[in-house]
């Protein structure tokens, strides 16, 4: 090939490369990352794993227990939870309450909340043996740390992450006690199983004996770790009862309560070229969806990560229970977090 033809071929190739590059950048504002089918910055890359429901039981009134099976399920540790995608597409988070040694199987328990957001009603009505569900790999923000002594406190369905902790503590030869409260005995799952531990477990149905006695917490020494999962009033009471020197680990049913009163702020959507106002009594997600109705979301409580987006400028008042410190440096969950100052700029 002559020198002129080679030069022309190289020039043509360079032109095609530049055109392809411009197209790639246009499709993906996050270049050099690959373009996403829906280019949402910060969206969780964790893949969904297919499972099948192999068992459905009701361990208490209003509680559904499902065992999910798949050879793809990764191992987990006590305190972990999984994102579950329901048939409607709703994503909900449930603690794993089975045995970590039972490879290829996850067990979850779901309390029916009639006036909730619909996830528990759908699960109770539609999920039976043979149903197919997708889950994401487990996350654990409630890890059981090694200790010689534990004091566990559970309220209602909050027993689910505690149950495998009891098994691990027993296997490790640790000294432990459990305070377990609920509205009625019949509504409290796993009461029969827990009864085999004798005096280590104190079961307090509210209709029989009132609220649980938390006085044992005041005597817990610095070598005792306290783990509590339950509704906000219970976790608040546990934190107040525990001595200042005793470590307290909490798992809440809802997002961390905000400190102080929320205030309005201005939100700039960089890629969309739009500026919107976020009122004091609405979430960032609500305001964003007024401008971008297709913005994905699910749990609305700072648990699932569906509404995670990249922050380009401004300080964030993080109110989620999901993101790591590193992730919080440049992203936020729209459903619960807000601007710490007067303005935020998002990569949207």
Q: Which mean pLDDT values do the consecutive 10-residue runs of the chain (348 residues) have? A: 57 53 42 35 62 97 97 96 91 93 97 87 95 93 94 97 97 97 97 94 96 95 94 93 92 62 91 93 92 84 83 93 84 93 95
So what's the pLDDT on residue 260? 54
Question: What's the rounded Cα separation, in Å, for the pair 118 and 88?
Answer: 10
The whole-number pLDDT of residue 96 equals: 97
Q: What is the pLDDT of residue 11?
A: 53
pLDDT of residue 27: 40
pLDDT score at 16: 52
pLDDT at position 163: 97
Residues 342, 339: Cα–Cα separation, whole Å: 7
């Amino acid at each position: 090939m002559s020198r002129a033809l080679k030069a022309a071929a190289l020039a043509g190739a360079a032109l095609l490369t530049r055109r392809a590059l411009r197209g790639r950048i246009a499709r993906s504002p996050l270049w050099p990352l690959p373009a996403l089918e829906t280019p949402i910055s910060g969206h969780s890359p964790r893949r969904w794993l297919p499972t099948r429901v192999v068992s459905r039981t009701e361990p208490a009134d209003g509680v559904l227990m499902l065992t999910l099976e798949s050879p793809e399920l990764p191992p987990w540790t006590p305190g972990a939870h999984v994102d579950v995608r329901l048939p409607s597409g709703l994503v909900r988070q449930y603690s794993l309450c089975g045995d970590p040694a039972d490879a290829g199987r996850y067990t979850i328990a779901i309390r029916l909340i009639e006036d909730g957001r619909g996830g528990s009603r759908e699960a109770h009505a539609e999920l039976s043996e043979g149903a197919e569900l997708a889950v994401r790999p487990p996350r654990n923000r409630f890890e059981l740390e090694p200790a010689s002594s534990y004091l566990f406190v559970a309220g209602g369905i909050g027993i689910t992450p505690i149950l495998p902790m009891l098994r691990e503590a027993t296997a490790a030869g640790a000294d432990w006690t459990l305070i377990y409260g609920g509205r009625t005995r019949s509504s409290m799952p796993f009461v029969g199983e827990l009864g085999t531990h004798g005096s280590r477990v104190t079961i307090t149905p509210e209709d029989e004996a009132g609220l649980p006695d938390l006085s044992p917490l005041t005597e817990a020494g610095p070598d005792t770790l306290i783990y509590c999962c339950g509704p906000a009033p219970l976790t608040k009471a546990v934190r107040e009862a525990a001595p200042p020197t005793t470590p307290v680990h909490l798992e809440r049913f809802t997002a961390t309560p905000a400190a102080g009163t929320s205030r309005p702020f201005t939100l700039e959507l960089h890629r969309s070229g739009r500026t919107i106002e976020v009122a004091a009594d609405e979430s960032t997600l609500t305001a964003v969806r007024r401008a971008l109705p297709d913005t994905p979301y699910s749990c609305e409580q700072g648990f699932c990560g569906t509404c995670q987006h990249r922050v380009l400028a401004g300080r964030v008042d993080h109110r989620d229970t999901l993101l790591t410190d590193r992730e919080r440096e440049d992203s936020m969950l729209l459903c619960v977090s807000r601007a710490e100052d007067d303005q935020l700029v998002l990569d949207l």
